[in-house]
Amino acid sequence: MKNSSRRGFMGKAFGAVAGVGAVASLYAMKRSWDPLPSVKAAGFTTLDMSGYKENELVTEKWRGKPIFVLKQTADMVEKAKKNPKELERLIKIGDAYYLVCLGLCTHLGCIPGYNPDEQSFLCACHGGLYDFTGEVTKAPPPRGLDIPPFKIDGNKLVLGEEGPEYKKMLEAGTTLRA
């Protein structure tokens, strides 16, 4: 009797030590899978907004991801003004309006293609559609194209920094934090 309770105690003591060790090593394993600090401290991309042409899609790069820049034509701005949900998505720099968004489908991350005649984006992977402001018009994508954190700096746009215009978009639910 005495013996078996001593073994029971030893078993429990071992269990406790092993348990602590297991949790600690799981934590170490989890941390080893984390993105490296050098990856995390990903840079900022500065775009000079004066060079873009109307209704011509340009793809820039930020944190390895494609960024769509689409300068809106007067027509598009007119159309967008009729629909506040669309207008909210555009960034105004000087007198011009731009769509600046992640070029990754919000469904599963393919790159949609832009059709300048129809002024819409088609995602070939599962057939999602977006309009010229990146608002979704046909499922499966659950929401419009995400807008990266940005700060307006004169005629320049800094991606990766959260300016007041971006924070407003977040609050209004225009975009999720990308």
Partner 1 sequence: MAHFTKATSLHDWLNQRLGIDTVRRVMATEYWIPKNINFLWAMGMVLAITFGLLLISGIFLLMYYQPNVELAFDSVNYTIMQEVGYGWLWRHIHGVAASVVFLIIYIHMFTGIYYGSYKKGREMIWISGMLLFVAFSAEAFSGYMLPWGQMSYWAGMVITNLFAGGSLHADGLVEWIRGDYVPAQAFLNRFFMLHVLLIPLAILGLIGLHFGALRIPHVNNQDGEEIDFEAEAAKYKSGDKAGSKVIAFVNDFMSKDMMVVGIYLVFFFYLVFYHYDFAMDPVNFDPADGLKTPAHIYPEWYFLWSYEILRPFSTDVGLIAFAFAQVIFFALPFLDKSPNAVPASRRGLFKYWFWALLIDMIVLTAMGKLPPEGIFSTIGLVAALTFIGLWIILPFITKMEKKA
Q: Does 105 bind ligand FES (CB under 6 A)?
A: yes
Q: Does 173 bind partner 1 (CB under 8 A)?
A: no
Q: Determine the Cα–Cα distance for residues 97 and 93; give it in Å rounded to an integer.
A: 6
> What are the DSSP E strand ranges found in 63-95?
65-71, 91-93
Binding residue for partner 1 (CB under 8 A) from 59, 83, 115, 137? 59
**Residue of 138, 97, 131 whose CA lies nearest to 115:** 131
149 binds, among ligand FES, partner 1, none (CB under 5 to 8 A by kind): none
Cα first-last separation, the chain: 63
Q: Does 129 bind ligand FES (CB under 6 A)?
A: no
Q: Does 63 bind partner 1 (CB under 8 A)?
A: yes
14-22, 23-31, 46-54, 100-108 -> range binding ligand FES (CB under 6 A) = 100-108
Q: Does 103 bind ligand FES (CB under 6 A)?
A: no
Q: Determine the Cα–Cα distance for residues 93 and 153; give it in Å rounded to an integer.
A: 9
**5 burial type by CB count under 10 A (0-12 exposed, 13-18 middle, 19+ buried):** exposed
Using the minimum distance from each CB to partner 1, give the nearer residue, 77 or 149: 149
Q: Does 151 bind partner 1 (CB under 8 A)?
A: no
Residues in contact with ligand FES by CB under 6 A are 105, 107-110, 123, 125-126, 128, 140-141
